[in-house]
Amino acid sequence: MVAFLSIPRRLYLVVYNWCQVLYFAVKTLKDAGHEHVYNAVEKPLQLAQTAAVLEILHGLVGLVRSPITATLPQIGSRLYVTLGILWSFPQTQTHILVSTLVISWSITEIVRYSFFGLKEAIGFTPSWLLWLRYSTFLLLYPTGITSEVGLIYIALPYIKGSELYCIRMPNKRNFSYDYFYNALLVLGLYVPGSPHLYTYMLAQRKKALSKSKIIR
């Protein structure tokens, strides 16, 4: 249904969802502690990350200019951590890294979608928002990536012990699958993937701020 909404309305809904995530995370962190942050943000977080899959489709059909090589790993890794780690293994949900994760993600997405939403609505964006759009990642990308990697690592013993999502031999299809080794593979992909995406964003920042004549 979201795919059929107008672009400004869709962007507004995305910003609203991420604002909910940020508000609930900060409020819960202050009032009850980091152990309760996940429970407070679970539903809006899952909604926001699942809806982000549409960005991949938009990139494939050319509705957005972001290359699929940058969009796919970012959205894929976030969706994996949201559903494949946090939702699947509740033992990880009370860790402090959940707080740094959702705060990093939510601020990044609020700024990004506010930038695109305002540009779509009025045709331009103020220089301060342009600067935020291409500068907040300098801090929030490392904190977000560190949180993602940390939570996957923390989940490893629970993945191995539970054998959740594993397929063991023998079976009719003569096929086996171990989710533990899948998690190790995902961790390995962060090694080349993270520098690639960060380098891409640095190049985009230089291009955008230079074009707008904003002092970096």
Q: H/E/C letters for each residue in the chain?
A: CHHHCCHHHHHHHHHHHHHHHHHHHHHHHHHCCHHHHHHHHHHHHHHHHHHCHHHHHHHHHCCCCCCHHHHHHHHHHHHHHHHHHHHCCHHHCCCHHHHHHHHHHHHHHHHHHHHHHHHHHHCCCCHHHHHHHCCCHHHHHHHHHHHHHHHHHHHHHHHHHHCCCCECCCCCCCCCECHHHHHHHHHHHHHHHHHHHHHHHHHHHHHHHHHCCCCC
Q: Sign (positive/negative) of CA torsion 40, 18, 56, 96?
A: negative
pLDDT score of 199 more than 80: yes
Catalytic residue among 38, 80, 141, 179, which?
141
Query: Taking residues 93-117, what's their average pLDDT?
Result: 95
* Rounded-to-integer distance, Cα 66 and Cα 147, Å: 24
* Rounded-to-integer distance, Cα 52 and Cα 180, Å: 26
| Active-site annotation holds for 141 | yes
Which pLDDT does position 74 carry in this prediction? 83
Which pLDDT does position 92 carry in this prediction? 98
Which pLDDT does position 212 carry in this prediction? 74
- Give the tens place of pLDDT for each residue, 81-91: 999 999 999 99
Which pLDDT does position 67 carry in this prediction? 63
Q: How confident is the model at residue 68 (pLDDT cuts 50, 70, 90)?
A: low
| Active-site annotation holds for 148 | yes
- Give the tens place of pLDDT for each residue, 149-190: 999 999 999 999 999 999 999 888 889 999 999 999 999 999
Which pLDDT does position 59 carry in this prediction? 58
pLDDT score of 43 more than 80: yes
- Give the tens place of pLDDT for each residue, 123-153: 788 999 999 999 999 999 999 999 999 999 9
Catalytic residue among 38, 148, 181, 198, which?
148
